[in-house]
A and B are shown apart, each in its own frame.
Chain A
């Protein structure tokens, strides 16, 4: 089967850096995606890593280690608007759908 694990909650301070980890188990791996969802809103795509290493997009970066079945989302210069839930996701072994983690709720304190 396939499963993803990520922390349920993370708290950080405005202006700081926070890392949200994701470990996965899957029989066929294509890549790791990250989505952001604000309360009451729809998820929005943030990043996708198919290869090992760090991908940077502005204040957000995403890292993948295929050998460790592990990835993380790094948020820098945290702003209050970054308070949201963050989901990691992998493609199913049949490559027909993606499987989402249960989400990490990020709370940011002033």
Chain B
């Protein structure tokens, strides 16, 4: 089955720690995206990538980093510089029709 997987489902971060969220897709999509969602809020774009080895900052990139070494993978690192990382993180991808985005199941990040 084609789709997007994210792992882990829940992630706990200690103060001062960097953590990495995984996102993998087998839809052969060029574009991939990372969003942050806080309770009762909409989706805010963190980073996006339109092609391998290229990515751009979204609206709230500070305290986050990404890489796009393979078409299938777009991991997100939440660094210690992100002082309020507790949120629901969603990864998405899109093909030729960018208006149609396919989302992974999400990762909930909590701070210990």
Contact = CB atoms under 8 A, between A and B. Distances in A.
| A and B assemble together | yes
A43 B100 contact: no
Contacts, number: 50
B16 interface: no
For chain B, what secondary structure do more than half of its interface residues adopt (helix, strand, loop), or is it mixed? loop
Contacts of A45: 100-102
A100 B90 CA distance: 13
B58 A31 contact: no
Given A43-B90, A87-B43, A102-B42, A97 B33 contact: yes
Given A48-B97, A102-B42, A96 B103 contact: no
A44 B92 CA distance: 10
Nearest to A42: B103
A94 to B, nearest CB: 9
A25 B94 CA distance: 23
A50 to B, nearest CB: 8
Contacts of B40: 105
B48 interface: yes
A41 B6 CA distance: 13
Nearest to A87: B42
Given A96-B48, A96-B50, A97-B58, A33 B100 contact: yes
| Closest 5 A/B residue pairs (Cβ) | A42-B103, A102-B42, A100-B43, A33-B99, A103-B42
Given A31-B99, A42-B90, A97-B58, 5 more contacts: A30-B99, A42-B104, A45-B101, A48-B100, A96-B98
